[in-house]
Amino acid sequence: MVVNSYYECEYCKTKLRLRYQVGYFDIPVNIYCPKCNSHISGSIFIDNDNISISENLIGAIKVSHEDYEYVYELSTEFLVDKCKTKEETKPFDLTMFMRSNPFDEEKRERQNNLLWFNKNILTFINRIENVYNLLNNKKIDLIKRFFLESDDVFLKDLRMEYDYNKIINKVDAMLATKHYVNTLLMRTMPKRVFENIYNVMHVKVRRIVTNHPNEMKRFLSYLDEDYLELYLNRIPKFIVDYIKVIGQLIPIYDNYSNFNVIDFGKKGISTLSIDAMSVIYKKGYELLCDSIDLVIGLYNIESNGQFDIFTDGRYDFTTKLNSYNSKYNKFETFTSFQSDLFDGIKGTLNNVIRNAEGHNSIFIDGIKQEVTFVNKHKGKKTTYTISFLEFGKMCIDLYVAILYIWEYCYQLTKLKAVLVDAIELNYGK
């Protein structure tokens, strides 16, 4: 069902027709006045009966007349046509639903899984925050009790595969926690990402351990508390921050696998907040730069036989990696090497976007749905302009890269416990 509502911009009084697709899920709104570029935001709430609707928008005032100058499409699930004038709008445009190829059952199932995740997002946030807080504070008995007694539907299914009574130490609890959280997050991963992340353990890390067992043990012994803090605290916090805004990205997820065929001149998105995504991007950028050292160590072992031997010789590992004039240059240098260790990670960072967010130098063209990032450094100005859709996909790509890094962290933490600390693992046996 498509509903039409009529509004006036609160500032310049431009008359707008908002045409939105009603489904089972609330619609976040982030659009811009076509004349004065004022931000119009809020939500359209869909009641459980799929009939009752309430609109709560800021920056525009609802009016009773049906006169309008411009048309905006709004949708939680689908890409929308960009803002059109009244003259450009056909009287019988297809709905967003019909334009989205609704008969692709696999695509629709993935979309519904993500919509369902977003509808229950507060539960997932609570679960992820709490299990990692318990793990970080070594509350092993409480984790065990939760896994054994909670009525969480995922845990009910997982209890058929694993005996959580065997959790007797922090590493067992870590293994169980990561397995559980991966199950929660599967719905937030684009197609095939989970299978590729699974290969981090079964192909990439296993290959290095098999070929260089002694050097791998030496590298694991080198890893310190900063590395553990990254795994137990920083990455889970970023994941929580990301999934708080995932509801704004659903139309991009729905088109992720064929993103290169989208006509960015015509197609857009009505849910994305550039300000919110810029903050997410900066957080993910810093985290990825700080955590890439783990993969660099693995790369050195595989390519040069020792974790502290680089292409130009042997150095103290930390000193060498701190010698680059920026985190970005270090990241770009190493991820340019031809190694499958960097698959899913390379090509995800843009220094102009990161610096522009830090300096509040972001300029939005709401009509074209383009954002320009400006980086001013030592008298030089660099600009980077992309569509809202492209920026949203960059944020998803960055999230995926963090998931890869998290899997490396997880595998190395587990191996350190077994190979260095000689802790016996019971979970999963």
Query: How does pLDDT run across 226-259, given as a tens digit for each residue?
Result: 777 888 899 999 999 999 999 999 999 988 888 9
Residue 189, pLDDT score: 92
| Residue with more model confidence, 47 or 172 | 172
Q: Which of 69-83, 121-135, 187-201 has the lowest mean pLDDT?
A: 187-201
| Average pLDDT value over all residues in the chain | 91
With 80 as the cut, is the pLDDT of residue 70 above it? yes
Residue with tokens 């569509």: 387
| Residue with more model confidence, 259 or 50 | 259
With 80 as the cut, is the pLDDT of residue 31 above it? yes
**Own/partner long-range contacts of 115-120 (Cβ < 8 Å, ≥24 apart):** 115/23, 115/24, 115/25, 115/76, 115/77, 115/250, 116/187, 117/187, 117/188, 117/243, 117/246, 118/25, 118/246, 118/247, 118/250, 119/25
In this prediction, residues 11-33 reach a mean pLDDT of 92
Burial class (CB in 10 A: 0-12, 13-18, 19+), 125: middle
In this prediction, residues 60-82 reach a mean pLDDT of 93
Residue 112, pLDDT score: 84
Spatial CA neighbour of 83 closest among 74, 93, 75, 95: 74
Q: How far is CA 92 from CA 2, 95, 101, 347, in A?
A: 12, 9, 18, 42
Residue 92, pLDDT score: 61
pLDDT tens string 185-202: 999 998 888 888 888 888
Percent of the chain residues past pLDDT 90, beyond the cut = 69
Spatial CA neighbour of 82 closest among 320, 267, 356: 267
With 80 as the cut, is the pLDDT of residue 3 above it? yes
Q: What residue spans define the domains of the chain?
A: 2-102, 113-420
Q: Phi/psi at 106 (nearest 5 deg)?
A: -65, -45
With 70 as the cut, is the pLDDT of residue 275 above it? yes
The structure's pTM equals 0.93
With 80 as the cut, is the pLDDT of residue 1 above it? no
pLDDT tens string 81-106: 999 999 988 766 777 777 777 667 77
Q: How many Cα atoms occupy the beta-carbon half-sphere of 270 within 13 Å?
A: 28
With 80 as the cut, is the pLDDT of residue 277 above it? yes
pLDDT band for position 405 (cuts 50, 70, 90) = very high
pLDDT tens string 362-404: 999 999 999 999 988 777 889 999 999 999 999 999 999 999 9
In this prediction, residues 211-223 reach a mean pLDDT of 95
Distance (Å, rounded) from C-alpha 326 to C-alpha 300? 20
| SS3 of the chain | CEEEEEEEECCCCCEEEEEEECCCCCEEEEEECCCCCCEEEEEEEECCCCCCEEEEEECEEECCCCCCCEEEEECCCCCEECCEECCCCCCCCCCHHHHCCCCCHHHHHHHHHHHHHHHCHHHHHHHHHHHHHHHHCCCHHHHHHHHHHCCCHHHHHHCCCCCHHHCCCHHHHHHHHHHHHHHHHHHHCCCCHHHHHHHHHHHHHHHHHHHCHHHHHHHHHHCCHHHHHHHHHHHHHHHHHHHHCHHHCHHHHHCHHHHHHCCCCCEECCCCCHHHHHHHHHHHHHHHHHHHHHHHHHHHHHHHCCCCEECCEECCHHHHHHCCCCHHHHHHHHHCCCCHHHCCCCCCCCHHHHHHHHCCCEEEECCCCEEEEEEEECCEEEEEEEEHHHHHHHHHHHHHHHHHHHHHHHHHHHHHHHHHCCCCCCCCC
Residue 23, pLDDT score: 76
